[in-house]
């Protein structure tokens, strides 16, 4: 472990610089997008459907055993089936022009996911499968940072502990049955625990949260790596600030932008600290911006749910008839700008940034395909022209995959 030389994380500077770059992002990435004719989209859809149906049929005999057993032979067989399906999707260029899915597999993403799920099944009885998968997404982000900075792709205890904090704290802070006073009291106890105090937990959930914090302290002692826990305190503050999104008073765009950028940015900033222990400013800025655009992407994907729950975001506050064309264009421009390789990047780092750009682009297309009225008809058509499949097909594909995962419950 390296001793930190930083005394304070410049969170306000990171926030201001990141929002400024987003506000100035206006170069739509035409030069990095390729149009796909309709006949090719339809052919890709037919091939994807065939592959997914084949995958589901091959997995079906193993599902009952997976529910009841953790035998490595069964898990390895399922893993082999999944890997073969992803390789075929890459080989046939059905979602990407380059073999991005195979790239993730070759770097060990599947192994890290397997280790994470195995540990979660053994230790997190309070969480559902869906919540564990939510936490797994954060592990994948941390894995991408490991690759970016040439660290071995692995699952460490601090990575596990921090990723598990999310579903626990989010569930508590988002629970409408818990009073604001109780939430504030919890935040106080969590802050004290992060600062190294021995705090009596209020319930089993808090007890587990405090155990996870102590796991982080074990590898990153407060006196040696103060910025590690400072980064976690920042995301805790961001979660507290995000409670304003449920306010009955309408928030203006600038407020919502600040909330989303601070929450997303501090989240991946903490990911980075739990990998490195210390960061240069450039590493902090990339991590913060990475988290910021992922949060905006989440806000786009969750627009309908946020509307139902009166949770204000840049996308959920749209009035009837308003579109998100400008915001989505800016988001795409920002993602490609953040992931533009620089002179210090290795070949692997440059490739990874391309992978991030392309994968997030597909996620934007999927989100628009699920809620087409969020954009104008002309922008929908333009966005679809760059997609490997029709935008409406992403929902069909997602529903098939979700059905398969649901059968594991």
Question: Average pLDDT, stretch 22-30?
Answer: 85
Question: How many angstroms separate the Cα of 324 from the Cα of each of 75, 250, 282, 368?
Answer: 42, 18, 31, 10
Q: What per-residue confidence (pLDDT) applies to 80? A: 86
The token pair that represents 308 in the structure block: 């139902």
Q: Which domains does the chain have, with CATH numbers?
A: 11-34+97-375 (1.10.600.10)
Q: What per-residue confidence (pLDDT) applies to 289? A: 97
The token pair that represents 346 in the structure block: 């290795």
Q: What per-residue confidence (pLDDT) applies to 386? A: 95
Q: What per-residue confidence (pLDDT) applies to 367? A: 95
Q: What per-residue confidence (pLDDT) applies to 111? A: 86
Question: Average pLDDT, stretch 345-356?
Answer: 87
Please say whether the beta carbons of 122 and 246 come within 8 A.
Answer: no
Q: What per-residue confidence (pLDDT) applies to 6? A: 42
Give the model confidence (pLDDT) of 51-70 as tens digits. 988 888 888 787 666 655 55
Q: What per-residue confidence (pLDDT) applies to 4? A: 40
Say if residue 196's pLDDT is above 70.
yes
Question: Average pLDDT, stretch 84-107?
Answer: 88
Q: In residues, how long is the chain?
A: 409
The token pair that represents 328 in the structure block: 């989505």
Say if residue 159's pLDDT is above 90.
yes
Say if residue 405's pLDDT is above 60.
no
Question: Average pLDDT, stretch 213-219?
Answer: 92
% of residues, the chain, pLDDT over 90:
48
SS3 string, the chain, reads CCCCCCCCCCHHHHHHHHHHHHHCCCCCCHHHCCCCCHHHHHHHHHHHHHHHHHHHHHHHHHHHHHHHCCCHHHHHHHHHHHHHHHHHHHHCCCCCCCCHHHHHHHHCHHHHHHHHHHHHHHHCCCCCHHHHHHHHHHHHHHHHHHHHCCCCCCCCHHHHHHHHHHHHHHHHHHCCCCCHHHHHHHHHHHHHHHCCCCCCCCCHHHHHHHHHHHHHHHHCCCCCCHHHHHHHHHHHHHHHHHHHHHCCCCCCHHHHHHHHHHHHHHHHHHHHHHHHCCCCHHHHHHHHHHHHHHHHHHHHHCHHHHHHCCCCCCCCCCCCCCCCHHHHHHHHHHHHHHCCCCCCCCHHHHHHHHHHHHHHHHHHHHHHHHCHHHCCHHHHHHHHHCCCCCHHHHHHHHHHHHHHHHCCC
Give the model confidence (pLDDT) of 277-322 as tens digits. 889 999 999 999 999 999 999 999 999 999 998 899 999 999 988 9
Q: What per-residue confidence (pLDDT) applies to 68? A: 55
Q: By mean pLDDT, which of 134-138, 300-304, 333-337, 395-399 is the weakest?
A: 395-399
Say if residue 191's pLDDT is above 70.
yes
Give the integer Cα–Cα distance in Å for 178 and 123.
25
Give the integer Cα–Cα distance in Å for 334 and 324.
15
Say if residue 408's pLDDT is above 80.
no
Q: pLDDT band at residue 12, thresholds of 50, 70 and 90?
A: very high
The token pair that represents 359 in the structure block: 């994968």
Please say whether the beta carbons of 66 and 74 come within 8 A.
Answer: yes
Please, what's the b/e burial string for 333-348 (b: 16 or more CB within 10 A of its CB; e: otherwise)? bbbbbbbeeeeeeeee
Question: How many angstroms separate the Cα of 9 from the Cα of each of 270, 295, 343, 403?
Answer: 11, 20, 25, 43
| Of residues 174 and 266, more confidently modeled | 266
Say if residue 72's pLDDT is above 80.
no
> Nearest 5°: CA angle at 73, between 70 and 75?
55
Q: What per-residue confidence (pLDDT) applies to 133? A: 84
Question: Average pLDDT, stretch 370-381?
Answer: 94
| Of residues 44 and 176, more confidently modeled | 44
Q: pTM for the complete prediction?
A: 0.90
Q: pLDDT band at residue 3, thresholds of 50, 70 and 90?
A: very low
Give the integer Cα–Cα distance in Å for 78 and 212.
30
Q: What per-residue confidence (pLDDT) applies to 2? A: 40
> What average pLDDT does the chain have?
87
Q: What per-residue confidence (pLDDT) applies to 30? A: 77
Give the model confidence (pLDDT) of 229-282 as tens digits. 899 889 888 988 888 888 888 999 999 999 999 999 999 999 999 998 889 999
């Amino acid at each position: 472990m390296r001793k930190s030389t930083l005394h304070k994380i410049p969170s306000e500077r990171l926030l201001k610089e990141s929002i400024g770059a987003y506000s100035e992002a206006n170069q739509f990435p035409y030069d990095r997008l390729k149009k796909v004719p309709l006949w090719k989209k339809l052919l890709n859809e037919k091939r994807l459907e065939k592959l997914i149906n084949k995958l589901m049929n091959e997995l079906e005999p193993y599902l009952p055993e997976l529910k009841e057993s953790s035998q490595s032979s069964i898990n390895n067989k399922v893993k082999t089936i999944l890997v073969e399906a992803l390789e075929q999707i890459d080989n046939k260029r059905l979602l990407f022009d380059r073999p991005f899915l195979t790239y993730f597999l070759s770097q060990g993403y599947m192994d890290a996911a397997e280790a994470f799920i195995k540990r979660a099944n053994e230790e997190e009885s309070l969480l559902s499968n869906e919540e564990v998968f939510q936490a797994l997404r954060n592990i994948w982000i941390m894995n991408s940072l490991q690759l970016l900075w040439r660290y071995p792709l692995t699952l460490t205890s601090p990575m596990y502990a921090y990723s598990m904090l999310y579903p626990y704290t989010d569930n508590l802070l988002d629970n409408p049955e818990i009073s604001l006073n109780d939430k504030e009291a919890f935040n106080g106890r969590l802050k004290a625990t992060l600062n190294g105090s021995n705090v009596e937990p209020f319930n089993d959930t808090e007890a587990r949260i405090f155990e996870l914090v102590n796991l982080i302290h074990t590898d990153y002692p407060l006196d040696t790596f103060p910025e590690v826990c400072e980064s976690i305190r920042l995301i805790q503050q961001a979660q507290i600030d995000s409670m304003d999104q449920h306010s009955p008073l309408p928030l203006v765009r600038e407020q919502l932008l600040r909330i989303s950028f601070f929450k997303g940015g501090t989240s991946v900033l903490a990911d980075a600290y739990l990998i490195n222990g210390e960061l240069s400013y450039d590493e902090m800025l990339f991590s913060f911006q990475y988290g910021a655009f992922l949060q905006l992407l989440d806000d786009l994907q969750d627009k309908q749910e946020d509307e139902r729950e009166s949770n204000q975001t840049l996308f959920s506050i749209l009035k009837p008839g308003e579109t998100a064309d400008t915001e989505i264009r800016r988001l795409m421009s920002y993602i490609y700008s953040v992931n533009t390789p620089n002179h210090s990047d290795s070949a692997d780092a440059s490739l990874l940034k391309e992978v991030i750009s392309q994968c997030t682009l597909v996620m934007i297309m999927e989100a628009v395909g699920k809620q087409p009225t969020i954009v104008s008809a002309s922008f929908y058509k333009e966005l679809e022209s760059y997609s490997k499949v029709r935008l409406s097909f992403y929902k069909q594909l997602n529903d098939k995959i979700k059905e398969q995962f649901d059968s594991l419950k």
